[in-house]
Amino acid sequence: MKLKICGMKYPDNISQVARLQPDYLGFIFHERSPRHFEEKIPALSDQIQKVGVFVDEKVEFISGQIDKHKLSAIQLHGHESPETCRLLKSSGAKVLKVFSIKNEFDFSVLTPYEDVCDYFLFDTKGKLPGGNGYRFDWSVLEQYPSTKPYFLSGGIGLDQVDNLKHFQNSKASKFCHAIDVNSQFEIEPGFKDIQLLQELKSQL
């Protein structure tokens, strides 16, 4: 599985994290988030894909950020419609649509998004649209009806490594493209702990 490190905020810290060569780095363009990104993204390896995270923003704003930051992908964390996803997919950036899970999930809600998204992302249902710091019941994904690759998110930390290895050997992980980590690897919101991330990479 590939690795996405989300909630990047500070340029120097971004450059440090980038040296670990994650597959994706996520930047949150949502003013209500403590990880709201307002800087210029430093130069990154072409091997690292830049993902912009948005919550119910206008298509024009998202398109502007794609152009400004040369984003490889966009992650839609709100109530974006299939039509919004279709419009954004035409930008050339990959589209990740987020769905939140607690102890159960109605997978039929994915159907309208099948043809307008490149990936799904499953996160923990909580008070915030992401960054809640705890995980959902991954066994729910054993009922995943699609073949579309997805990102696994929600409170993944070093304490979940054994669970991740077990998950990788389960039916639920068949279409899991990447894991998405954030708050469990922070010194403060947006500032990542390099040592913890190195340890994660060594164990994956």
Task: Tell me if residue 5 falls in helix, strand or coil.
Answer: strand
- What are 124-149's pLDDT values in tens digits? 875 555 444 568 889 999 999 999 99
And the tokens for 72?
Answer: 């490889």
And the tokens for 27?
Answer: 């930047």
And the tokens for 190?
Answer: 């947006």
- The CA radius of gyration of the chain, in Å to the nearest whole number, is 16
Helices (H), 118-182: 161-168
- What are 70-128's pLDDT values in tens digits? 999 999 999 999 999 999 999 899 999 999 998 889 999 999 999 999 999 999 875 55
Give the model's pLDDT for residue 103.
81
**DSSP bridge pairs for 99:** 122
Domains along the sequence of the chain with CATH: 2-203 (3.20.20.70)
> What does each C-alpha distance from 5 to 14, 65, 140, 200 come to in angstroms?
10, 19, 23, 11
Report how far Cα 158 is from the mean position of its chain's Cα atoms.
Answer: 17
And the tokens for 67?
Answer: 């152009």
Task: Tell me if residue 201 falls in helix, strand or coil.
Answer: helix
Give the model's pLDDT for residue 155.
86
Q: Can you tell me the distance from the alpha carbon of 18 to that of 171, in angstroms, rounded to the nearest whole number?
A: 32
- What are 42-57's pLDDT values in tens digits? 999 999 999 999 999 9
